[in-house]
Structure 1
Amino acid sequence: MLNINHQKFLELDQLSQQKVPFFFVIDFLMENVLIFNEKDLKSKIILVDFPYFKNIENKEFASKKIEWQAFPQSKKDYEKGFKIVQEHLKRGDSYLVNYTTETPVETNLTLEEIFYQSKAKYKVLLNNEFTFFSPETFVEIKNQKIYTHPMKGTIEAEKQNAIELLKNDVKEKAEHYTVVDLLRNDLSMIADNVQLDEFQRIDYLQTSNKNLYAMSSEISGDVKPEFQYKIGSLLQKILPAGSILGAPKPKTLEVILEAENYKRGFYTGVAGYFDGENLDSCVIIRYIENKNFLYLNEKPNLVFKSGGGITHLSKLEDEYQEMKNKIYVPIH
């Protein structure tokens, strides 16, 4: 089913074995793998703002009132894919499916302004094609110890007792347990001594629209000798990322491709920086794409891609609302 770009993953292996620094962006289906060397990063073909690597300088923009309008699909249209997902869940084909959609948005902000002014742990701008501002780490490797931080479960921060509600919500808890279990299993394919270090940590995400609490956990292990300095092989083994796919992975991917009526592209793929020794990478979520990026003189045609985990406990109204809640820019 997957048309994986094996040549590019081999290139990632070769560069990491030579301990050559690079930045990469991999799409959801592992077909499109972009690799940027130090020269590319210096010439700013791609702009990166990561915790341990940046190739940007501070930039001032004129202050203006932000205009932001989203045009989400109707609940009726959303329900079509939701029902397909629920049918597969009832049949036992999957027990967690990350179902996503794309939403046209209009704003007086450029992709560059969104990139520079948004607040997030991981930010990338590729030409006029897309930007993302992701709060979610995928995997980190430090001194051959690997860490992953699955993020699953959100709630509006303004709700009374929001943290307790999130931690004790049956559906959100089941979703989080499933992803933690899946990621622990994924990590065990490439690491020894896998363990759960932190469970159900709550992070606060501030946005221009709604402030959210998100639930994360941390899992770690020791990179197996056969995967050390082989970033391509290691990533290929554990992609697509479990937190934005579901479980079990192969069948759930089939469900997603049947239920979703658009191509995710780079959304829900991964991006990362290898410094010659260590790796930091993120899941590409909170993603805005310009569908007119090839036409420089055309008005941008922006879409925001968002979604959430669906289980047999999911209610249509709640999931539709969560998809809409995530359509925001973290500028405040």
Structure 2
Amino acid sequence: MTERLQISSLPYRDDPLDYFSSLRRHPGAVLLDSGKPAAPSGRYDIISSDPVSVLTVDGQGIIRVDNQVRDSRNPFLVQQELLEGLALEFPESDLPFLGGLIGYWGYDLGRSLEPVGESSSQVVSLPASRIGLYDWALIQDHQQRESWLIATSDRRNQVLDWLRQPTPPTTDFQLLSPFEGELDRDGYAERFAAVQNYIRAGDCYQINLAQRFSARYRGDLWSAYLRLRQATPTPFAGYQAWRTSQGEQAILSLSPERFLHCRADGHVEARPIKGTRPRGSTTEEDARLAGELAVSLKDRAENVMIVDLLRNDLGRVCRPGSVRVPQLCGLESYANVHHLVSIVCGDLATGRRPLDLLSAAFPGGSITGAPKVRAMQIIDELEPSRRSVYCGSLGYVDVRGNMDTSIAIRTAVADAGQIHLWGGGGLVADSDVDAEYTETLDKIRHLMEALSDTKLDME
């Protein structure tokens, strides 16, 4: 007999962390965080734990469901099978998630889809993807100021009992060493020159070149997430942590960038970011920096290249003629940076599903370059180590066809007693090496400072 989900009201709370703090130590606990109340554009928080099943993909592309190896090389097909196996009856609702998949798709999952190469080393041991199948969710709608619990009757009672338990104490977080980059300025400049040679040779038009910074830590990663969230509230944030035989692993993401949003009616939207300036220390300086970005031909060119790439990716699964660009290079301002943001829309073709869209467009073109496959090959050749979760996606796929995913930039990854951050940017023919190197630092300086609790001189 199929069980029916029920939707019941819970007390609304301005801050989603109040609810998640009670559940964060449960197996498979996940938080998709709108950044409210500090991030003005966020709306929904999605919280869950104790998944029905967990799918992982390791660094060699081996897929496991609940530790059982699956005979498939396509993780998106296995995820679709899991989604279709969630035997629940769903009520009519406008809420974005009534059950389904929540987790992350790491950048390195792209190796399962495209002939990328094997030049870079795997420093971070997190799975290339970790996705849970969830049969309940706690959702906060900050626009309507309402909170909802979606669960079967038995699961509802279980979750309410969990929420009544004392909140686990939060302990301190501390860095044991300063952040160190895997590249110094000269090392970055050498790779920058290699990118310019590839562009001049016609191999590519744009390459997103990143560098990794790492530090040793001890203490509570939830405390680290709270610091990062306070320093840079964003509408596509997220937190996941779990334990392995080697210790705790976690993702602490403060992304400002949506990757793909799909509604149950098949409407698709992508919001690529290309073009960045820091916020100014005065109103006048801030306005000047925003104005410079808005008219920068170089930054607009980067953005337009990625828009063209995304139009092609969406065109692989969308109805012919439906792909369009309602916003090109719009200026958006966040707590620490200004960005140029475009919007690319389309409508899924008959028979296509959200996971088909994710597979067709993964990883996002805004963090690879163009053309995508050649850009990924050059990234693998020039970056010393794999990107892990960075530049992948966090998000959900709902059983009714809703999907929302981020680009996992401004994202910290914890593994084996170390915490890692990446900063990168798109390089084109007229890029300046000093400006690009500084931009990689500007994007994550505030995250490093939040974790180290001090101002940093990184020039």
Matched, 1:161 2:285: no
Q: 1:293-312 alignment to 2 at 5 Å?
A: 300-312=417-429
Q: Quick one: distance in 2 between partners of 1:170 and 1:124? A: 36
Partner of 1:134: 255
Do 2:103 and 2:130's aligned partners in 1 also have CA atoms closer than 8 Å?
yes
Partner of 1:35: 131
**Relative contact order higher in (CA < 8 Å, ≥ 6 apart):** 1
1:316 Cα shift?
0.6
Return the letter of the residue paired with 1:21.
Answer: G
Partner of 1:183: 310
1:198 Cα shift?
1.5
Partner of 2:180: 71
Q: Quick one: distance in 2 between partners of 1:155 and 1:236? A: 31
Change (3 A) 1:22 1:145: same
Matched, 1:85 2:195: yes
1:40 Cα shift?
9.3
Partner of 1:260: 383
Q: Quick one: distance in 2 between partners of 1:216 and 1:222? A: 20
Change (3 A) 1:59 1:169: farther
Do 1:115 and 1:125's aligned partners in 2 also have CA atoms closer than 8 Å?
no
Q: TM-score normalised to the size of structure 1?
A: 0.82
1:139 Cα shift?
0.5
Return the letter of the residue paired with 1:124.
Answer: Y
Q: Quick one: distance in 2 between partners of 1:217 and 1:168? A: 15
Q: Return 5+ residue gaps in structure 2 as ranges.
A: 1-59, 64-72, 87-98, 113-127, 150-161, 243-247, 454-459
Deviations 1:74-104 (A, max 9, x none): 2111112212211111111000100011012
1:126 Cα shift?
2.6
Return the letter of the residue paired with 2:333.
Answer: Y
1:305 Cα shift?
1.1
Change (3 A) 1:326 1:309: same
Q: Quick one: distance in 1 between partners of 2:405 and 2:202? A: 32
Deviations 1:282-320 (A, max 9, x none): 11111212231xxxxxxx322211101000111110010
Q: Quick one: distance in 2 between partners of 1:98 and 1:22? A: 29
Partner of 2:407: 283
Do 1:67 and 1:109's aligned partners in 2 also have CA atoms closer than 8 Å?
no
Do 1:155 and 1:166's aligned partners in 2 also have CA atoms closer than 8 Å?
yes
Do 2:173 and 2:223's aligned partners in 1 also have CA atoms closer than 8 Å?
no
| Helix, strand or coil at the partner of 2:387 | coil
Bigger mean CA deviation after superposition, 109-118 or 49-58: 49-58
Specify which of 299, 322, 328 is matched with residue 172 of structure 1: 299
Q: Quick one: distance in 2 between partners of 1:195 and 1:94? A: 24
Partner of 2:333: 204
Do 1:111 and 1:125's aligned partners in 2 also have CA atoms closer than 8 Å?
no
| Helix, strand or coil at the partner of 2:389 | coil
Matched, 1:215 2:311: no
Return the letter of the residue paired with 1:240.
Answer: P
Partner of 1:314: 431
Q: Which has the larger Rg?
A: 2
Bigger mean CA deviation after superposition, 108-117 or 8-17: 108-117
Deviations 1:15-61 (A, max 9, x none): 4445751113112132533220116979xxxxx99999999989996
Q: What is the percentage of aligned positions where both structures have the same residue?
A: 23
Partner of 2:323: 194
Q: Quick one: distance in 1 between partners of 2:351 and 2:315? A: 13
Q: Quick one: distance in 2 between partners of 1:263 and 1:286? A: 16
Do 2:274 and 2:303's aligned partners in 1 also have CA atoms closer than 8 Å?
yes
Partner of 1:121: 235
1:63 Cα shift?
10
Partner of 1:245: 368
1:116 Cα shift?
3.4
Do 2:171 and 2:223's aligned partners in 1 also have CA atoms closer than 8 Å?
no
Do 2:83 and 2:100's aligned partners in 1 also have CA atoms closer than 8 Å?
yes
Do 1:22 and 1:36's aligned partners in 2 also have CA atoms closer than 8 Å?
yes
Matched, 1:23 2:102: yes
Q: TM-score normalised to the size of structure 2?
A: 0.61
CA RMSD of aligned residues (A): 3.5
Bigger mean CA deviation after superposition, 144-153 or 181-190: 181-190
Q: How many residues align?
A: 313
